[in-house]
Amino acid sequence: MEQTATTHPHQLPDAHRAEAEAALEVLLDSSLDRIVDMVCTSRDGAYEALAHDGRVAFRRTADGSYERIAVSGRDPLADQTTAKFTPLADERANPFPHRSENAYPHAFDQIAQLFDAPAAPDLCVLHSAAHNWEDQGGHLGEHGSLGLVQARAPFVLAGKGVRKLGLVPRSARLVDVAPTICALLGCAPLGDHDGKFLAVQDGRVLTDLLDPDERPRTVVGFLFDGTNSNVLYDMAARGEAPNVARLIEMGVALGHGALASLPTVTLANHTSIITGAHPGHHGVLNNAWYDRAAAEQVITNSSATWPWSMQHLFPGVETIHHAVHRTWGDAFTASVNEPCDTGADYSTFDFFRRGEVPPIPKDPFGLPHTTERFVRPSKDYSWSSVVDHMGVDQALGIIAGNYRDASYPTPRFMWCNFTLTDAAMHEGGPYSEVAAASVRDSDGRIGEILSAFERAGVFDECAFALVADHGMEQNDPTCRGDWDVALRAAGVEARDEAYGFLYFGVPRG
Ligand SMILES: [Zn+2]
């Protein structure tokens, strides 16, 4: 923890203490034990994680580390390690781990950062690894919690300036991605702070992955939304994702993953990857939340709100694009299909903000790298295939120097976001054939982009990053239920945003 964006961390107000206690009584009851892993809160100057079978209170110390101040029963945050449930066989041998078997990586820091935001909930409910959301169409893959498999994203770094280490048994955090890319590019550090490139930065440079004697001219980032890292590495090793395998061979992949920030959901972590800050410090707190000060619901992760979602960044938060421009005033950066695009010279979402729509194919039939078998029955697969195809189209145009009648120089930094993997891994679960098809299709798409850099004659001057925004965990379709039903039945008045952010004393919505 190097920087806090807000000086007004959220604490449970005294006025809502009784409601919170009533809610905790319901949430921690044995009848919800299968679906509620734990509940987090911030009160009396401490953070707490409370589970059915035990609780822990902890606080930040002056040096930025954490200390437990009270434990009763089983400490729900006892295991914060990152090395379990990998590789794939090990993950599959331990399906939907109970909290006593699970690990919650960097849990103290993750819970504390969330409550640093003024819009933090009064209670944050973490669903269990097994929980299957009926409301989400009974998807077999889930994320959002702090459990290891839901938090664990793949991270591959490759190309010029990256050491060739292959798949290594270690982890990092998603907030480390932005400072590491800045260091790889050779961006100027802020002031005399070695390793600090972004005004609000929680992450640190993964120095030992970099070759200090080589600097790429361009860094290209690929984000495969919602990709289970064990599944991705396994497919690369089996020849099913040859372009991902090529990147791993050209550089390094973190076998234990890059751990997402709490909540381990899309918009919060896209923004963490590109700003180097935790959600509670960059301001895009969740896919949806309640803003007490403005007395309104905020929705960031929907196709209607993506173009404007970055208005919720806290003042002063910077992206990789800002760090690049501060270093090279004339550098060109591009952000393809990525809602966290602040500071980019080219962004897909500029089209929407200008009231235009980029040329979206009407349907995915006949598009390259599109598995027809899943496009037909699955609406989500179909839509994501079209969107991701459109992203490749933009990237190829930019690399070739021209897209939609505008000319572009070679980008210093380009970010390309792909959505298909998330749609497919939710729908079928991470081990399904539809999930595998989504990885194959996405691998083919990044292959097109790699080839375009080769055609442009600059491939050897490039470095590449591949990451996801969170993990994806197989759940148990028999483990259903909704704590909001139990809360209502008990007469507890709470507003629940994005499945787990509970607010008291605000309209139910
Ligand atoms: Zn996502």
The tens digit of pLDDT for each residue in 370-379 reads 999 999 899 9
- The owner of tokens 């973190």 is 254
**Distance from the CA of 417 to the center of ligand 1, in angstroms?**
10
**Distance from the CA of 226 to the center of ligand 1, in angstroms?**
5
**Distance from the CA of 264 to the center of ligand 1, in angstroms?**
8
**Distance from the CA of 419 to the center of ligand 1, in angstroms?**
8
pLDDT tens per residue, range 307-340: 999 999 999 999 999 999 999 999 999 999 999 9
Rounded Cα distance, 394 and 389, in Å:
9
**Distance from the CA of 234 to the center of ligand 1, in angstroms?**
20
Residue 346 has pLDDT above 70, yes or no: yes
Domain that holds residue 158: 1-509
pLDDT of residue 138: 77
**Distance from the CA of 466 to the center of ligand 1, in angstroms?**
14
Rounded Cα distance, 42 and 112, in Å:
8
Q: Give 1's pLDDT tier (boundaries 50, 70, 90).
A: very low
Lowest pLDDT segment from 196-200, 321-325, 362-366, 463-467: 362-366
**Distance from the CA of 110 to the center of ligand 1, in angstroms?**
18
How many domains is the chain built from?
1
Q: What is the mean pLDDT of the chain?
A: 95
Contacting residues for 217 by C-beta, under 8 A, at least 6 apart:
160, 410, 412, 458, 461, 462
**Distance from the CA of 439 to the center of ligand 1, in angstroms?**
15
- The owner of tokens 């120097």 is 401
Question: 178 phi and psi, to 5 degrees?
Answer: -65, -50
Rounded Cα distance, 157 and 142, in Å:
26
**Distance from the CA of 265 to the center of ligand 1, in angstroms?**
6
pLDDT of residue 3: 38
**Distance from the CA of 227 to the center of ligand 1, in angstroms?**
8
**Distance from the CA of 191 to the center of ligand 1, in angstroms?**
34
pLDDT tens per residue, range 420-472: 999 999 999 999 999 999 999 999 999 999 999 999 999 999 999 999 999 99
**Distance from the CA of 292 to the center of ligand 1, in angstroms?**
26
Query: What does pTM read for this prediction?
Result: 0.97
- Residue 153 structure tokens: 């994203």
- CA 286 to the chain's CA centroid: 10
Stretch 202-211: mean pLDDT, rounded? 98
Q: Residue 130 to residues 140, 320, 429: CA-CA distances in angstroms?
A: 10, 36, 12
**Distance from the CA of 223 to the center of ligand 1, in angstroms?**
9
Q: Give 46's pLDDT tier (boundaries 50, 70, 90).
A: very high
Stretch 197-222: mean pLDDT, rounded? 98
Residue 5 has pLDDT above 60, yes or no: no
The CATH number given to whatever domain includes residue 281 is 3.40.720.10
Residue 213 has pLDDT above 50, yes or no: yes
Q: Report the half-sphere exposure of 129 (CA within 13 A, side-chain side).
A: 24
**Distance from the CA of 444 to the center of ligand 1, in angstroms?**
20
**Distance from the CA of 45 to the center of ligand 1, in angstroms?**
32
pLDDT of residue 193: 82
Rounded Cα distance, 370 and 388, in Å:
10
**Distance from the CA of 33 to the center of ligand 1, in angstroms?**
26
Question: 384 phi and psi, to 5 degrees?
Answer: -65, -35
**Distance from the CA of 73 to the center of ligand 1, in angstroms?**
34
**Distance from the CA of 432 to the center of ligand 1, in angstroms?**
18
Question: What is the DSSP code (8-state) at residue 459?
Answer: G
Stretch 90-103: mean pLDDT, rounded? 97
Burial status of residue 335 (CB atoms within 10 A of its CB: 0-12, 13-18, 19 or more): buried
Stretch 67-80: mean pLDDT, rounded? 98
**Distance from the CA of 270 to the center of ligand 1, in angstroms?**
8
**Distance from the CA of 312 to the center of ligand 1, in angstroms?**
18
Stretch 405-421: mean pLDDT, rounded? 97
**Distance from the CA of 505 to the center of ligand 1, in angstroms?**
30
Stretch 384-407: mean pLDDT, rounded? 96
